[in-house]
Amino acid sequence: MDLESLVKEGWQFSNLGCSSNTKFADSLDKFFFYFRCVNPRTENFCLSATFEVADASQADFQTGYGIMVADTVETPDKGSCHRNYAMVGRSRTLNGQNYGLQLRVVGGYTNPLAYARRRQRRLDPSRTFRMQPSEDSLKKGDRHHLRLIKTNEGLEASLITDSGVETIRFPGCDFLLRQDKSSVYVGFAVAGKIKLNLSDITFEKSAGVLSHTPEDAIRNFIPDYPFSREMLKDLDRKGIAKLSGQKLVVSATGDSLTLDAAIRMAGPGCEIVLKDGIYTAREAYYVPKSYSGTKRKPVILRAEHPGKAVLDGSAISVKLPAMTLRADWWVIEGLIFRGAPSSGLFICGSHNRVNNCDACWNGDTGILLCAFPGVSRKEWPNNNLIESCSSYCNCDTVRCNADGFGAKLSVGWRNVFRSCRAFNNIDDGFDLYTKQPLGPIGPVIFINCEAFSNGWLPDEPMPGRPARCGCGFKLGGEDVPVSHILIACSAHNNARIGFHRNTNPLSLLFGCKEWGNGPA
């Protein structure tokens, strides 16, 4: 049977305060839930079922499904979507699997109406089954038999296959009595645009007692973004002298000096000039903190002729940006960043200026401003200026994550975008997403920026509306208030809304215009 038929079989349904925009993510979950009530103080339960994927054509990395026990189904409004739960099923794991079979555990919430309070959520590191599908994909016909049991000792999540039963145990279950203190709710959860069929459903209750979850059982984990910090290593090497105030000329053929060598040689006041050509990176370019310039003597990296020097990341074998700028006081001018598996240019330093650059055909956000993975809040990037840049035709594998420009999750104060254009990116033109576990970012300023035709690539028709992706300016996320400022900006002909506050009530728009955009 399909999920909707469960209601006819006596299961209750809740959309848990969300519309069709459902997801399992590392900071927020919104899902459809078909459930029955259990008193955990006096009852145990056993729920099992076979899940079969009927349609996964629109699945993305936030799609997931499984058998869940949750602590509340309270839904006073759309903001009530924060709940403690344990789910055995398929969803993105924290160790990088897109559709891993796992026991997913979320704790820490205490508000009885399921509202979030800052940094309250605790997402446990992934508890994955040893038996995994041979391909890390979600496709029609996938079948998995899953079981979730509450015992007097805690929870047992099982994956049942022809070769046997694999079980993951979790101690206690009183972490599920933090919001609704009298009941838990067990049933079937699904998020993302996916269709499922269920069979072999069995549900039993028996006498039981409540068990205690140790304080350290749920270990809060915030994954690195946009890559694992272990993926990049400092490029300082012995025997490479730091120059000061010199001009270094680099050619695409590397006849005299390679770009990698020039970056390692350049000190404060140096100017690296790239001759015309395509610079194909075998490894991602990385500028460590120790390679910073100074306020009076910035390091300059520029094209000899603007738009004629291309940093091509298509040969990079791992999901890294073409260039990661962790240093401070750099100036980058006239370059094109294209074809990287991740972002074209990732800026995580401060006091940098990027001028007259393009980012295109990358596998994630074209130009991304965000903190380096794992650093403290005081090291979030600040005082960066992105000016007269264009970002276009960026598209990820699931066609819903790659933006034109991003300043999100972990950025500091006084970051400015001036006279930038974002168009034909598969997701948003400009993205300022925030997450509850990280708290607010610094206000970002936009002056005379333009977002248009986002949500599809230039050789494709405009997607049908309502579209999954494609806002002009996405101004927040997860009810985190930040006072962004937009002056004389425009958003037109995007697949979704032009200026989307996305639960952020504080953005200020002055003299901005929008037309021809889709709905929110």
354 contact partners, CB below 8 Å, separation of at least 6 = 331, 332, 333, 345, 347, 367, 384, 385, 386, 387, 389
Contacts with 215 (C-beta within 8 Å, 6 or more apart), sequence order: none
Please give the torsion angle defined by the CA atoms of residues 160, 162, 164 and 167, in that order, rounded to the nearest 10 degrees.
Answer: -20
Q: Is 474 a catalytic residue?
A: yes
**CA–CA dist 232, 223 (Å, integer):** 16
DSSP state of 4: G
Q: By C-alpha distance, which of 245, 211, 219 is closest to 121? A: 219
Which residue of the set 140, 247, 474, 513 is catalytic?
A: 474
The rounded distance, in Å, linking the Cα atoms of 214 and 481 is 34
Helix (H) or strand (E) segment spanning residue 120: none
Is-contact 31 18, C-beta < 8 A? yes
Bond prior to 466 in cis (omega within 30° of 0): yes
What is the number of residues in the chain?
520
End-to-end CA distance of the chain: 32
Rounded-to-integer distance, Cα 485 and Cα 482, Å: 10
- C-alpha–C-alpha distance, residues 373 and 226, integer Å: 7
Just list the catalytic residues: 474
